[in-house]
Structure 1
Amino acid sequence: MSLQFTLRLLFTTCLGIFNTQILAQSSHLESTSPRLQTQQYQLVEDVEKYQVRILDRTTQKTLRTLRLQNKQEKVSRLSAVLHHEQRQSFILVLPDIAELWELSYDPKAEPVYQGWVHDYQMGEGIADTQLFAPRRTLLSTTLDCFILDPLRPYIAGADQHGKFQIINLDIRRQIIEHQFAHPVYPCHSKLENTGATSVLHLEMKSSGSNLSETTSSIILIDMKTGKKLTR
């Protein structure tokens, strides 16, 4: 075997190893994507690991890593991240488990007790005092399409079957539920601030007599009480 052939074979082998490493790194970068950024923080999703990481934008240091799963260890995708600037928190929408997560970066936020309701009311259990502790709201069903009230502790969500709920983030439970005949889309709707409350102009879509046609209508809902309004 000539020296020239040996060197060529060695070069080809090294090039193949290098390209494999580049492809592996590229695949990992594609699965890890920023989902939300503020002036101070960046929330990054690792799709393959069902995780999110919160980074300091200045130093790029990871402040918290959270696996998107419930207590039964069922994992979920991350369909949306909402920023509640007034509450200093991120809201994670998890379409595969019946939970809504709020991650607070308020240094004065109360500790989170990852237990039953009486645990955190009575100060029982182990408190999570770190920033971005997941404050879980348990839902009666999985919801996906959400809109939050930027001035108040309310968030509204719906599924694809016409179920609609308004959730109070302070008490971590729903305050109202409506079952509509057609799908509603709070995430595509508008909020009107009236001063005393916010009015959700909830969009509903229904099929016409011709199945290829879709008609839209608006339902007015008080975000504070959940009552339907008429004007």
Structure 2
Amino acid sequence: MAQAQSNSAAAPASATVIATPAAARKTIDAAGLYREHCASCHGAQRTGGMGPALLPESLERLRRPEALRVIQQGRTATQMAGFAGTLPPADIAALAEWIYQPVSPAPGWSDADVRASRVETAGAKDLPARPAWQADPMNLFVVVEGGDHHVSLVDGDRFEVIHRFASRYALHGGPKFTPDGRYVFFGSRDGWITKFDLWNLTVVAEVRAGLNMRNVAVSGDGRWVMAANYLPRTVVLFDADLQLVKRYDATTLDGKEASRVSAVYDAAPRKSFVVALKDIPEVWEISYDPKAAPIYDGLVHDYKMGEAIAKPGYQGVRRTPLDEPLDDFFFDQSYRHVLGSTRPKTGAADGAPTAQVVNLDVRRKIAELPIAGMPHLGSGITFAWNGTTVLASPNLKGGAIDVIDMKTWKTVKTIPTPGPGFFMRSHEATRYAWADSMMSPTAKDTLTLIDKATLEPVATLREPGRTLAHTEFTKDGRYALVSLWEMDGAIIVFDAQTLKEVKRLPMSKPVGKYNVWNKITRSEGTSH
């Protein structure tokens, strides 16, 4: 068993929560305080500007005591100053409560807003088509540091930081790469897409696709970028230069119901994007193949006989109706099937399935996955086992990993873990699958290593009292990089065979790290 050594500094003092009597709060003009002290940076409608958006959708993961602390003390390494010396405690408490209330009327983000937001770095298109640094560009790691909103580029052979730069606030959904590994696209919760030239270490262009965004996807040919938005309820298509191409309103075919967009991923072998909607039971497929077959919406007796009006298949929406909406999803290796997680039905018995298999060719659900709780299929992995291919998925609510045969869609084993987890990773060249338990208050400091041949837990790695999460492997699978998910955190490099610690790189809450080669080759051990 390998056990990391802890070098944690003392945690900062928590914010003081100020209880303000309801009668006193009524006399405080929180909206006026916002206009006076906050709007110049965060926007009149709280949609963001120099500072991030302060909308309820944008603040979902920021606890109110933390928001209060930020208003009081500010944020280090940013232009956010603290107001503890400027405003009385009751005013700060009123502001912290007010920013969690919906904006009325709800802010919009039009095509004109999208186009007007785009900025481009002069001369970036003319930079050399070769790395300006000495390292293997295919074994480069892109590390997202959530603590101070920076990105570090790490040499995957020497485990040294090549470059570090500031990112947009709260990157989310994982960076996506062009097929040559030169460009990476980041998406932020505030709706910004950033195109960054990894070889020349510069931002190429940025555009704001929406006000609250879930993630971005890049086409397999590197020509298209698609964004999934919560606010407004849209899917937005760009070319590789981040010029707006098309907006898709996330509605039912008749336009009567609208939905937030859960996620969009590229299905490169199909030359299409696949989109999950959070509030409407549909999966969309949007093809970027100019030769895509026409689309026939609704019930068609025989489209070959011309009994329906066809829509162009190229960049059109091909809808698959479902019984339940998907929160997130995963592809099998053929990309014919979407494996999606659904929210548990109200009143459903414990142990009821919360995942389904959707065949994109026949456009319907073909099976339910026997996984209870809340599977995090977007972080699942696949690997060969006993002559078949299996899917293994962490579970956000259960201390177990379900292993599913992808031919029969039946469970072959449920593997116990110390607690619920978020990420699971492996590599074709390693015998182990690495699973965290970061959702557990008592086991968040533990990684469980599972033998992919026996499906048995064989080792654990611990960082006592801290959080270990999100493993990623070097190009050859020899080393595993693990996040010490703390403000004074680190990337811990382990030998993937001996499980011994090799090196530790200090980082500010490294929420994710992504190996260029593993991503562009769609390694079976990582998310796509």
Range class of TM-score, shorter chain: 0.7 to 0.9
How do residues 39-118 of structure 1 correspond to structure 2 at under 5 angstroms? 39-45=222-228, 47-58=230-241, 60=243, 62=245, 64-72=246-254, 73-118=256-301
CA deviation string 1:28-74 (max 9, x = no partner): 55553472234101224565442223222248251x33111013521
The change in CA–CA distance for 1:163 and 1:117 in structure 2 (over 3 A counts) is: farther
Using the alignment, how far apart are the partners of 1:77 and 1:155 within structure 2?
Answer: 19
8 Å Cα contact 1:103-1:135 kept in structure 2: yes
Contact 2:287–2:313 under 8 Å retained in 1:
no
Residue 200 of structure 1 deviates from its aligned partner by 0.9
Q: Which has the higher strand share?
A: 1
Kindly provide the CA deviation profile for residues 75-125 of structure 1, in whole angstroms up to 9, marking residues without a partner as x: 011121111111111011111100000111112221111121536475432
Q: Distance in 2 between matches of 1:189 and 1:85?
A: 18
Residue 41 to residue 184, structure 1, CA distance change in 2 (3 Å): same
Residue type of the alignment partner of 1:190: I
Does structure 2 retain, via aligned residues, the 8 Å contact 1:82–1:92? yes
* Structure 1 SS opposite 2:394: strand
| Rounded Cα–Cα distance in structure 2 between residues aligned with 1:141 and 1:59 | 33
Distance between the aligned counterparts of 2:281 and 2:305, measured in 1?
25
Residue identity in the other structure for 1:192 = F
Kept after mapping to 2: 8 A contact 1:100/1:137: yes
Separation in structure 1 between the aligned mates of residue 230 and residue 359 of structure 2, nearest angstrom: 29
Indicate how the Cα distance of structure 1 residues 36 and 229 shifts in structure 2: closer, same or farther if over 3 A, else same.
same
- Output the CA distance in 2 between the equivalents of 1:182 and 1:61: 39
Unaligned runs of 5+ in 2: 1-39, 54-108, 110-116, 118-189, 192-208, 345-352, 414-453, 455-528
**Partner in structure 1 of residue 217 of structure 2:** 36
Q: 2:282 touches 2:325 (CA, 8 Å); kept in 1?
A: yes
| SS across alignment from 1:128 | coil
Which residues of structure 1 form unaligned runs of 5+?
Answer: 1-18, 207-214
Higher relative contact order, structure no. (Cα contacts within 8 Å, ≥ 6 residues apart): 2
- Provide TM-score, normalisation by structure 1: 0.73
Instruction: Indicate the RMSD between aligned Cα atoms, in angstroms.
Output: 3.1
Q: Identify which of 161, 165, 174 aligns with 2:356.
A: 165
TM-score (norm 2): 0.34
**Percentage of pairs with the same residue:** 31
In structure 2, relative to structure 1, the CA distance for the partners of 1:45 and 1:84 (3 Å cut) is: closer
Q: 2:373 aligns to what?
A: 182
Indicate how the Cα distance of structure 1 residues 113 and 221 shifts in structure 2: closer, same or farther if over 3 A, else same: same
Q: Which moved more, 1:215-224 or 1:127-136?
A: 215-224
